[in-house]
Amino acid sequence: MAIIRFIKKYTVFCVAVLAAVITSFFVPPDGEYASYFDWNTLACLFLTLAVVCALRNISFFSILARRLVRAAGNLRGLFLLLICITFIGSMLIANDMALITFLPLGYLALKAANKEKYMAYLFVLQNISANLGGMLTPFGNPQNLYLYSYFNIPTGEFCKIMLPPFLLAVGLLFLACLFVKPHKLTLDSVDSKRLHKGKTALYLALFAASLLIVFRVIPFWAGLPVIPAILLIYDREALKMVDYMLLGTFFFFFIFAGNLARIDAINELFSMLLKTDTLIFSTLSCQFISNVPTAILLSRFTGDYHALLLGVNIGGTGTLIASLASLITFNEYRAIHPGHTKKYFLLFSLVNFIFLIIMTAAARLFFI
């Protein structure tokens, strides 16, 4: 029973482990396994999660959320505000970091306004806004940064390729918010919490440092010992609260993707399919092995970076594993509403596939 409960609670983690183990039979562990991992991404995830937990513990997000509720005025306005913040945040600090930062804000804002029943829809739209908002900049999504460097794409050309789908995503997200009725918001109680100025300043400085690691201004190996050491002194509970299962999910998906790239039959199949339609195949590939592994894998078989860029960005919508950032949203929702994950999954799939179909069709007809 304990094993069954574990599998139910950490389903995506278990799938990642199983996928890694199965592919390891085809590609036995060797020295090349070490090259599979994006250690910078794993370090950034860990550090950002830890700092966000520390900010939670001093009520930073709950206080900020209440201020957002007051500023928004109504439920639709709150949705638009939170989605815009997540959308812009993904352009500046990458999609996964934007979700780690702003999902708690969405939850606390709806909780403060007694509108928690809208949580699933808000999280789904925040997830889509993070995945699609990051498409405009080379550093907005991990797959963008990889392809930008791998093909040495000029910055101006990169932005020109991604601007049309970016604008379409803005329009679709705005339309999605119109389904939310503009109910007037009232706060559940008088706000008596006050921020601890010293800890707030310290944790925001640590958060800024974690972002500098994201931008590779500070090497991850320099920040990795320092930030946890500071948290050990000021809030060791934050280190215990980190979602280590999420980190493990990323770890095992890296093994899965790395092994796939080394299986000859997979390589031959991908080479054949890419010659047919790079956009469609890359979009479909994301649905099964995620967009970052797809970008790494398919870049070896095509020089059509225009279609590949569109495919691995648009392909971040769709299934739960189409973007590893979506796992962050799923884990966050499951932690808040552990008994409602089926409802979330169904809503997530419905909305994401609507976005996927519309954006893929537009890209195929107008953007290539």
Cα distances (angstroms) measured from residue 191 to each of 64, 70, 111, 200, 336: 11, 12, 13, 18, 22
pLDDT in tens, 206-243: 988 887 886 678 888 888 899 999 999 999 998 988 88
59: tokens are 């009520």
248: tokens are 């493990």
Residue 214 is predicted with a pLDDT of: 67
Of 54-58, 289-293, 312-316, 341-345, which gets the smallest average pLDDT? 289-293
Task: Choose among 233, 215, 265, 223: nearest CA to 94.
Answer: 215
Cα distances (angstroms) measured from residue 206 to each of 25, 47, 121: 41, 9, 31
Residue 144 is predicted with a pLDDT of: 83
**103 or 355: which carries more pLDDT confidence?**
355
CA-only gyration radius of the chain, Å? 20
Evaluate if pTM is beyond 0.95. Answer: no
pLDDT in tens, 124-178: 999 999 989 888 877 677 788 778 877 888 888 998 999 999 999 999 999 999 9
Q: Which H or E element spans position 203? A: helix 197-214
Residue 223 is predicted with a pLDDT of: 85
Residue 215 is predicted with a pLDDT of: 65
